[in-house]
Structure 1
Amino acid sequence: MRIGNLEIENRGLLAPMAGVTDSAFRRICMQMGAGLCYTEMVSAKGLLYGGDGSAALLKYAPEERPIGVQLFGREPQRIAQAVERVGELGFALIDLNMGCPAKKIVGNGEGSALMREMDVAHAVLQAAVRAAGELPVTVKFRAGWDEENRNAVAFARMAEQAGVAAVCIHGRTREQFYAGHADWEMIARVKAAVGIPVIGNGDVTDGESARAMLAQTGCDAVMVGRGAQGNPWIFRQIACALSGQPAPVLPSAGERIEKCMEQAAVMVREKGERTALREMRKHAAWYIKGLRGAAAVRGKINAVETLAQLDGILRQCLAAGDK
């Protein structure tokens, strides 16, 4: 799959998720076969004026390449300035977030709020494309604002006209947030309406659902968000499903806990133990979801403060599964 001048080998992409897809987790997903990862969502305004930690979100390790950076904002001039700044940092592409449903983001007229202001969205995208030069610019958006305003097709056409190299559509409306089912038919309609690559997002939970989305919608790649939480192996499954290879063996309880600790150790080195372990609690709960004994230790995970404590609690879960 090609996006502008970027060739992506595997068509399973890790979605940018605030508070989730930090460098440590991205590295794990790339190990497992993700074709492309993205930074967490970065505020263009925060990046330019500092004070909210935006610059820290731009750090990445060499083994994460190719990596995209996702920016959000509604002011064309600031977006252009932010694009120029990140364009020198070695990212493979720049993605503009016009799909985030969070109240704080929408309340500022950003994220999915821009689906109701297509003229503003067009100006933002056009400014980003001009500032990016040869670097591909993409945009992620939703099926629409609500059931009465499902304008993804018109939005995709507008984005193509603005010069973006690819679009990613989440098949839910803003009002749905993450409830209900993603509308794959809308993804198919977007694919039929534009001549640039289309990435489908929503309800991809394993290799078979990735294959089904590609078959039903004709999209060029799939983006995985919640399906990857605690399950980076999903990218191995997707790669096998899309290449016709047998499905890989699912990870054992021991492998899941080992990978969880590997991620935690990287986070501790890069963020310090206190910060890392507080951020790691949700990841650990995702990694052990469904394992025997997980319910009994989940509360303990939510109180861990050290790497040793986390290791001990996860071993308890593993021991419970062996009984």
Structure 2
Amino acid sequence: MVLKIGSLELRSPVVLAPMAGVTNVAFRLLCREQELQRTGTVSGLYVCEMVTARALVERNEKTLKMTTFAPEENPRSLQLYTTDPRYTYEAAKMIVDEDIADHIDMNFGCPVPKVTRRGGGSALPYKRRLFGNIVAAAVKATEGTEVPVTVKFRIGIDEEHHTHLDAGRIAVDEGAQAVALHARTAAQRYSGTARWEEITRLKEHLVHTGIPVLGNGDIFGPADARRMMDQTGCDGVVVGRGCLGRPWLFAELSAELRGEDIPAEPTLGEVCQIIQRHTELLAAHDGEQRACRDIRKHIGWYLRGFPVGGEFRAALAKVTSLEELSKIVHPWEDSTALARDADGARGRQGSPGKVALPEGWLDDPEDDTVPEGAEIENSGG
């Protein structure tokens, strides 16, 4: 099953969603390695952490480091957070001129209060003209190139303010080559159940355009991906929290959607090896000390459902060196135990709540004024 996004042709319709502090070069490489080892091919799209357009243009050191791609990453996919057409154009032009990435995705789905209260993220598509101006700016900057622009958004702000159908239409009219819908409102955040019927509505709304519609929300295993595509008619799936501690998930999803045998779930011994490999990749990018701190947040996700005691988990959560890590996992490296009940939601679920918005934000959806102070200071969310 092939997914075409502009000039890009993917051998499976599976996309890794950007996640702050997770989808760095180490994790992306690990996902690619797992897919290659388990299926014999790398077929999906692995997107880097979200970077802020203004920070990129101003060459913020942290932001530039986050745009690092390994030589074997192809295609290179970068997601921009933006609220201003001017910075959007400059950032997209920079990406093209300096050959930073092969694909630009734009994030209008972030529900975090510090973002929405300034008019960014999932608050922004409510301002239809501003939203269109931003998409148009990115498309203009990539004209004449093979770098496609895509857009990700949510159902809307809340139940009274759905924006996804307008956002999809506007994005396509302005030249976006694909759209992705996280099937929750900003008010839902990550709680409850994703409303896949809204993916169906968006696909039906845009079917005449021929532009791919991707679905996002509650994909935790191969059966979920198949069910979403069958139920909604979407052209591909975007996977975020479901892959936390499961970099091998993309091999399973791709195999399922290509009609191939699904690779077996890894044993505890294999997961121990994957944890070590993940830490090694982090160390190559950020140094050993920082890598050992960073891997700690992944340990609970990796070991979910495995019959290991609290002592083992606690030791891994305090690891300070690659040598120490190797010693801790060594006794478990031959374990053939399998995880139990490891599917389901991962990461923070949060609870639904009122969306923080700038004062008067809902007064005029046609107002294209750039919200003041909406550019977040740092990349990554």
TM bucket (normalised to shorter chain) is: over 0.9
Amino acid of the structure 2 residue aligned with 1:123: N
In the alignment, is residue 13 of structure 1 matched against residue 23 of structure 2?
no
- Rounded to whole Å, the distance in 2 between the matches of 1:102 and 1:282 is 20
* 2:10 is the alignment partner of 1:2: no
Alignment of 1:262-277 (within 5 A): 262-277=277-292
Determine the C-alpha separation between the residues in 2 that align with 1:3 and 1:106.
28
CA contact (8 A) 1:292 1:317 kept: no
Letter of the 2:92 counterpart? V
**Structure-1 residue corresponding to 2:50:** 41
Q: After TM superposition, give the deviation of residue 177 of structure 1 in Å.
A: 1.2
- Distance in 2 of aligned mates of 1:125 and 1:118: 11
Q: Kindly state the Cα deviation for residue 232 of structure 1 after the two structures are TM-superposed.
A: 1.6
1:296-311 matched pairs, under 5 angstroms? 296-311=311-326
TM-score (norm 2): 0.80
Q: Which SS does the other structure have where 1:203 is aligned? A: coil
CA, structure 1 residues 100+204, in 2 after alignment: closer, same or farther (shift >3 Å)? same
Gaps of 5+ in 1: none
Q: For 1:217, which of 232, 238, 245 is the aligned residue? A: 232
Which residue, out of 143, 146, 149, partners 2:155?
A: 143
Give TM-score scaled by structure 1 length. 0.94
User: Which of 137, 149, 157 is the aligned partner of 2:169?
Assistant: 157
How do 1:1-323 residues align onto structure 2 when only pairs under 5 Å count?
A: 1-31=3-33, 32=35, 33=42, 35-51=44-60, 53-87=62-96, 88-133=98-143, 134=145, 135-194=147-206, 195=209, 196-293=211-308, 295-315=310-330
Q: Assess, with a 3 A threshold, how the Cα gap between structure 1 residues 161 and 190 changes in structure 2: closer, same or farther.
A: same
Supply the AA of the counterpart residue of 1:164. A
CA shift at 1:90, angstroms? 4.7
**In structure 2, what residue type is equivalent to 1:139?**
V
What is the SS of the residue equivalent to 2:184?
A: strand
SS at match of 1:173: coil
Q: Kindly state the Cα deviation for residue 308 of structure 1 after the two structures are TM-superposed.
A: 2.2
Report the more deviating stretch, 30-39 or 311-320. Answer: 311-320
What SS does the corresponding residue of 2:289 show, helix, strand or coil? Answer: helix
SS at match of 1:62: coil
How many residues align? The count is 322
Equivalents in 1 of 2:185, 2:142: separation in Å? Answer: 29
Is 2:26–2:281's contact at 8 Å kept on the other side of the alignment? yes
| Displacement after TM superposition at 1:188 (Å) | 0.8
| Residues 292, 321 of structure 1: 8 Å contact kept | no
Which whole-Å deviations, capped at 9, do the CAs of 1:221-260 have from their partners, x for residues lacking one?
A: 1011011111122111112211222322111111111111
Contact 2:299 2:317 in 1 (8 A): no
Which has the higher relative contact order, 1 or 2, with Cα contacts under 8 A spaced 6 or more apart? 2
The residue type equivalent to 1:18 in the other structure is A
RMSD: 1.8
Distance in structure 2 (CA, Å) of the matches to 1:52 and 1:66: 23
Q: 1:293 touches 1:318 (CA, 8 Å); kept in 2?
A: no
Q: Which amino acid aligns with 1:45?
A: R
Q: Deviations over 1:243-280 (max 9, x none)?
A: 22232211111111111111110111221112111111
Cα offset for 1:298?
A: 2.8
- Superposition deviation, residue 317 in structure 1: 5.6
In structure 2, how many angstroms separate the alpha carbons of the residues matched to 1:296 and 1:157? Answer: 53
Alignment correspondent of 2:350:
none
Deviation of 1:305 (Å): 2.0
CA distance in 2, matches of 1:145, 1:241: 33
Q: Write the letter of the residue equivalent to 2:101.
A: F
Contact 1:69 1:95 survives alignment (8 Å): yes
Q: Deviations over 1:54-86 (max 9, x none)?
A: 111110112221121101111101110001111
How far is 1:294 from its partner? 5.1
Deviates more, 1:262-271 or 1:295-304: 295-304
* Aligned residues of 2:132 and 2:174 also touching (Cα < 8 A): yes
Amino acid at match of 1:20: V
- Structure 1 runs (4+) greater than 6 angstroms displaced: 319-322
